[in-house]
Amino acid sequence: MNSAPIQNLYRTDRLPVSHLLLALAIVAVWGTNFVVIKVSLEAFPPFLFAALRYIFALLPLVFFFAKPKVPWWNLCVYGVAVGVCQFGVMYFAIDGRISPGLASLVIQTQVFFTIGFAMFFANERLKLYQAMAVAIALIGLLIIALHTDSTTTFLGLALVVFSGLSWGVANTVSRRAGSINMLSYVVWASAFAIPPLLLISFVFEGGWGGMSLAIASAPIGAWLGVLWQAWGNTLFGYAAWAWLLSKHSAALVAPAPLLVPIFGIGASAYFLSEPLPTWKLYAAGFVMIGLVINLFWPTLVAKFGRNAV
């Protein structure tokens, strides 16, 4: 039976309710995860922390899942883009160069990179209402970016923007994988993140001595953070995210993580006492408005009988 018609049933101008709820669960995990990252970085250096995350994402599940039917280069690019260039670099930035709440915002530049790559490689057409949604959400991003302080450096901002670019690359590559078992895809791709992360940690984080000391002295809370990174954030979050991208256009799905800063800033304020001034609430409001327009405009158009924008 040809699976193409089944897959095409999902490629509409709106998300089914079940897919919308899944997207919200993913961004809730990703947003609150920034608190886990900050706390765990007190015990582990950033690139070792990232390597441990992907070791536990790979093992033992790799022995229970067959390799997905995608080229090795696809798994390699996805693994390196997500594991090294997105999370390794972002952990390095959060380790004293940018606050967790602000990092949860800046990483959302992935939305623009993902949509841009889709337009370039897949010839997807950006509709007017989607462009409006992204532009309104961008106002929220700019508000927060204009209110940086001593806890956020230019290097930190640049590194997290680079992480967003890498996330966009990973989104594009995972969509090219097609309709496959996305959990298996994420597990096998993790293998390609581990060697470069361990190499970077060895060279810049104290060699085997520094790595061994960090592992031996890490408290149980830090190890729980590693496991949450591996199983909650990587296996659930990224497998489910890749699955959504395989079912819907990038322009429709990619803006959903704009909710990540809401969870990220809120969790950082509650658990880490990160300041929550009024301007952050205004910024969050713009992000929410942009997301609502992107998700619900087609429904409103259909309800009122107007032509789609």
Model pLDDT for residues 216-228, shown as the tens digit of each residue = 999 999 999 999 9
Its domain, for residue 85, covers 23-304
Residue 4 lies in a domain: no
Query: What is the per-residue pLDDT for 54?
Result: 96
Tell me, yes or no, whether 159 lies in a domain: yes
Do residues 36 and 228 touch, judged by C-beta distance below 8 A?
Answer: yes
pLDDT at 305: 59
In 3D space, the residue among 3, 4, 56 whose CA is nearest the CA of residue 223 turns out to be 56
Judge contact between 287 and 299, C-beta under 8 A. no
Is 87 a member of any domain? yes
Q: What is the dihedral of CA 86, 116, 172, 98, to 10 degrees?
A: 10
Exposed/middle/buried for residue 299 (C-beta within 10 Å: 0-12, 13-18, 19+):
exposed
Question: In the prediction, which pLDDT does 76 show?
Answer: 97
The Cα-based distances of 235 to 23, 26, 50, 114 in angstroms read 14, 11, 14, 21
- pLDDT confidence of residue 10: 46
Measured distance CA(123)–CA(214) in Å, rounded: 47
Specify whether the CB–CB gap between 241 and 59 falls below 8 A. no
Q: Is residue 223 part of a domain?
A: yes
Provide the token pair at 59: 């093992």
User: Does 35 map to a domain?
Assistant: yes
Domain presence at residue 198: yes
What pLDDT is stored for residue 284 in this prediction?
A: 76
Contact at 8 Å (CB) between 167 and 86?
yes
Residue 3 lies in a domain: no
* pLDDT of the residue at 306: 54
Q: What is the pTM for the complete model shown?
A: 0.81
Query: Would 12 be classed as within a structural domain?
Result: no
The segments of the chain whose pLDDT lies below 50 read 1-11, 308
Number of C-beta neighbours around residue 216 at 10 A:
7
**Residues 281, 168: Cα–Cα separation, whole Å:** 26
Q: For residue 190, what pLDDT is reported? A: 95
- Name the domain count of the chain: 1
